[in-house]
Structure 1
Amino acid sequence: MDITRYGQSALLIEEQGTRILIDPGSLSGEHVFALDRLDALLLTHDHPDHLDPDGVARLVARSPDALVLAPAEVLDALPVGADRAIPVSDGQAYRVGAVDIEVVGSLHQLIHERIPQGLNVGYVLGVLGGARLFHPGDSYESAPSGITALALPLLGPWGSLREAIDFADAVAPRHIFPIHDVHLSAMGRELFWSWLQKFSLTDMAAFDPPIGYPVGIG
């Protein structure tokens, strides 16, 4: 399984010719909206940094056969035909090409008591007998087992380094790499990433793929 990281939380997953894009948002960079030959787009929730509606419209136009998986409330606001839109919720499972997709979780991490707690689903993408990637969106709610690689949100208005470390320990993946990091300066990101590895109790291999370059996991 090849993973290409774009800005914030956008990831392109490629496996045996299947191409799946997760969370192309307003902070993902323009390159992500030029992708084509996609089999599916997976959207965790409707915050702009995870979902750019205009960008999604461009992506589905470039990939006319791509399915769009997201919570029903998210799909309602997107220019996607009913034949391509798949509403998802916790516990459901799908197969797109060579990739099995499991939907986990239901709530966005709490930002503040005065801010309504919205919806958020995470996705586990797996290959029979192979890698299992977990993208949690904006939530530390769910910790599925048997994860090969965890896309770990480093920081957001809803999270902290302490919570990120505890979440990594709860999932206990074989590999870990950072997402959701634009709120950090370069020095702050380096500090958070090094401390996460230093203080985690899990024996996991950490890697930090450069933007726009595929990295293989297995």
Structure 2
Amino acid sequence: MQLVHFGHACVLIDTGTTRVLIDPGTFSSGFEDVTDLDAVLVTHQHFDHVDAKRLPALLAANPRALLVVDEGTAPSVVNPTVARPGDVLKVGDTTVKVVGGRHAVIHQDIPVIPNTGYVIGDGAFYHPGDALFVPDEDVDVLGLPAGAPWMRTGEAVDFMRAVEPRVAVPIHEAVLAMPEMAYRHFENLKPAGTRVRPLPRGEETAV
């Protein structure tokens, strides 16, 4: 499997037969030039996960790509497939299981919105969006949130330990001034058998 991290929450997953882009948001860059996509997946409506201005051009450049979004994002985009927890979608030769359902709590005064996590290829890759939902199946590569207004570093560590992936790829790092500090905690506190692997931004990497 090849991955490209375009910064923050945006990740391209290439299984060799299927290409899926997740969360092309405003804090990410470089995804605008991606082609040959089978699907674009959006976990939730926040701007750092879906850039309403750049999304139409991305879809125009990928006319066969399925647009899959959560219920909260659906009203703001054109012709989406709405994903709900429990759904299993077929994208190219790959399955996409929809999990979770709710964004993590930021503050009691801020309404909780929908958030869908996506398990790609029977656990080959898991993107949780803005939540720390632990799926039922084994996960090979985890997109591990590194920093967020709704999360402490210790919670991210406990999430990684609960999922126990072979590889944890830090994502959602743009809100941190020094994400390397979180990465060091992940490395020092990772479960046995897990490799923490920050990806170079915008570069295709075999994982």
Question: Which TM class, normalised by the smaller chain length?
Answer: over 0.9
Aligned partner of 1:67 in structure 2 is 66
Which residue of 178, 196, 202 maps to 2:186? Answer: 196
CA distance in structure 1 between the aligned counterparts of 2:76 and 2:90, rounded to whole angstroms: 24
Per-residue displacement from partner, 1:57-95 (whole Å, max 9, x unpaired)? 1111111111111113312211x23xxx21111111011
Secondary structure at 1:105 match in 2: strand
User: Mapping of 1:21-100 within 5 angstroms?
Assistant: 21-29=21-29, 31-78=30-77, 80-81=78-79, 85-100=80-95
Q: Within 5 Å, which residues of 2 pair with 1:119-134?
A: 119-126=114-121, 132-134=124-126
Q: Secondary structure at the match of 2:54?
A: helix
Superposed CA RMSD in Å reads 1.3
The number of equivalent residue pairs is: 207
Counterpart-to-counterpart distance in 2, 1:92 and 1:202:
31
Work out whether 1:184 is the aligned partner of 2:185.
no
- 1:151 is aligned to 143
**Secondary structure, counterpart of 2:125 in structure 1:** strand
Moved over 2 A (4+): 141-145, 200-203
Deviation per CA, 1:32-62, whole angstroms, max 9, x where unpaired? 1122221100000010000001211111111
SS in 1 for 2:148: coil
Contact 1:143 1:167 survives alignment (8 Å): no
Q: Is the partner of 2:59 in helix, strand or coil?
A: helix
SS in 2 for 1:25: coil
Instruction: Tell me the residue number matched to 1:138.
Output: 130
Contact 2:186 2:196 in 1 (8 A): no
* TM-score, structure 2 as length reference: 0.95
Write the distance in 1 (CA, Å) between the matches of 2:198 and 2:147.
Answer: 15
Q: Structure 1 residue 216 and structure 2 residue 206: aligned? A: yes
- Structure 1: any 5+ residue segments left out of the alignment? none
Would you say the 8 A contact 2:125–2:142 is kept in 1?
yes
Contact kept in structure 1, 2:42 and 2:50, CA below 8 Å? yes
| TM-score of the superposed pair, with normalisation by structure 1 | 0.91
Which amino acid in the other structure matches residue 4 of structure 1?
V
